[in-house]
Every structure is written in structure tokens, then in C-alpha cells.
Amino acid sequence: MSERTVTVASSVGLHARPASLFAQAAAKVGVPVTLTNAAGKSVNAASILGVLSLGIGHGETVTIAAEGDGADAALDTLAEVLNTDLDKEE
Amino acid sequence: MSEETTPLTELLAEASIDLDASAASRDEAIRLAGAGLLAVGAIDESYVDAMIDRENSVSTFMGEGVAIPHGTLAAKDSVKSDALSLVRFPAGVDWDGNDVRIAFGIAAKGNGHIALLSQLATVLMDPEKAAALRAAETTEQVYALLESDEDE
């Protein structure tokens, strides 16, 4: 099991647009990834509903975890997504 | 739960619920969801265009036949109060290739949307509740399904 603890950079937190981009990215990495919020609640990172249900705000710390072949590469990719301010759209 | 979160049922006025709508396009469906927010004075009319802008940028389809159209960050000033609208499309709407049965229009100032979306997503993660919501024919059913069950 590999893990990364990341601070959410998106200025409005992990809500609709960032949550959707993050879940899409998680669905593409090829290994199942779990997302856990600071309160310890875990969801499937590829589920938009799951990600939204955690209600993660800007600057909150989350943990992503995966296991198996490619887990580290997958987590590096997703950590990068979380480190980016996904709300910058203009 | 120590956070001050307004229950979904308080944000959704009966005047903002339309359980038997039809729309020929995604944009028409978004305008109906926007009309539900306008009906209670939660937004300025310009917010509805911002909802469509947002949708063009990234789909607000959430899964379970539900989309959550809302405005862009730049349109926050068009929001007068936090509110929710619900439009049900029994025949479905083609939402960029997804079949949408329910559109929740969302108006939120500041960071109010985070708690709001969290509550909504928690309801929809229960497939039985999501199915019941898609089939809801009365506002009573809608309110019962959206009742918070955060204590579990």
C-alpha cells in the first residue's frame, strides 16, 4: 500500500469542477485509489459523488492510497492534480 | 457535526421544485433550474447565463442521472442568497451524452456550496435514495429523501 498526503490547492476546495477533474483523473490511472479526508472518511477517488460527499475545502489535507503495480505513479499523478488550483479557468 | 450547515430541505423552497418538466436540450434544462432559483429571488438573471458558461467549461453531471448546474466563480456576485432548485425530467434530458433525470440548480455565496454538495452527494451515494428521487412525484417525497441523516 502506497500513500500520499496532500493539501488541496483549489481555492474553492474539492467541489464540482475540481472534484470532477480529480475523479476523472483517478478513473484513468489504472489502479483503484482511495481518497480519505482529515476526519478519516474514505471513498473511491474515481467516484465524483464520493469525492463530493467528503466536502473537502481549500487547504485541507487529504490522503490518497493505492496498491499494486503502478500505484506510486498513479498517486504521483493524482497528487499533482490536487496540488494544482483547478478553479483557474479563465 | 459542529459545522454550521443549512439542511438541504431548508435551501429548497417548494416554489423551486418542478417535478414534471421536459427540456429539449441541456441548456433549456439549465434555464429551468435557473428559473427555480429566480422564483425565490436567490439570484440575478445573469447567473443563469453563468450556469451555462460553467457547464460548457466542465459538465456538472454527477452520476445517478443527476446534474448540479451552478454559476462560475465570477458570477458569485449575482447570488443573493444560498438556494437550491430541483427540476425533474421524467423523460430524461441528453446532457452531453448522459441521461439526466434531475437537475439541482445551485446558488451559493462564499464557501456554502461545499457543505451543500457534500450533503447532496451523500444522499445520492445511496442508490436506493437516488432511484427514489428520480421517481419522486410529490414534494413530500423529495423532502423526505433530502432529510439529513448525518447522525448515522
Please state the rounded mean pLDDT for residues A14-32.
89
> Nearest-CA neighbor of A11 among B37, B71, B111?
B111
Element (H, E) at B93: strand B83-95
What integer pLDDT is reported at residue A5 of this predicted model?
96
What integer pLDDT is reported at residue A47 of this predicted model?
92
CA pair distance B67, B133, nearest whole angstrom: 13
What integer pLDDT is reported at residue B148 of this predicted model?
61
What integer pLDDT is reported at residue A87 of this predicted model?
64
What is the residue extent of each domain of chain A? 2-82
Residue among A2, A9, A15, A32 flagged as catalytic: A15
> Nearest-CA neighbor of B69 among B31, B124, B110?
B31
CB atoms within 10 A of CB B17: 19
What integer pLDDT is reported at residue A23 of this predicted model?
93
Assess whether pLDDT exceeds 90 at residue A85: no
At B94-132, the pLDDT tens digits run 999 999 999 999 998 877 778 888 899 999 999 999 999
At A27-80, the pLDDT tens digits run 999 999 999 999 999 999 999 999 999 989 889 999 999 999 999 999 999 999
- B113 CB neighbours in chain A (<8 A) are 12, 15-16
CA pair distance A18, B50, nearest whole angstrom: 17
Amino acid at A25: A
- Touching check for A27 and chain B: CB below 8 Å? no
* CA distance readout (Å), B22 to A55, B19, B141: 31, 10, 20
- Touching check for A60 and chain B: CB below 8 Å? no
What is the residue extent of each domain of chain B? 8-146
Q: B73 to chain A, minimum CA–CA distance in Å?
A: 8
> pLDDT below 50 — which residues of chain B?
1-2, 150-152
Strand-strand pairing, A33-36 and A42-44? antiparallel
Domain A2-82 belongs to what topology? Answer: Histidine-containing Protein; Chain: A; (3.30.1340)
- A21 CB neighbours in chain B (<8 A) are 58
What integer pLDDT is reported at residue B152 of this predicted model?
43
Q: How many residues does chain A have?
A: 90
pTM, two decimals, is 0.85
* Second-level CATH architecture of B8-146: 3-Layer(aba) Sandwich (3.40)
What integer pLDDT is reported at residue B1 of this predicted model?
39
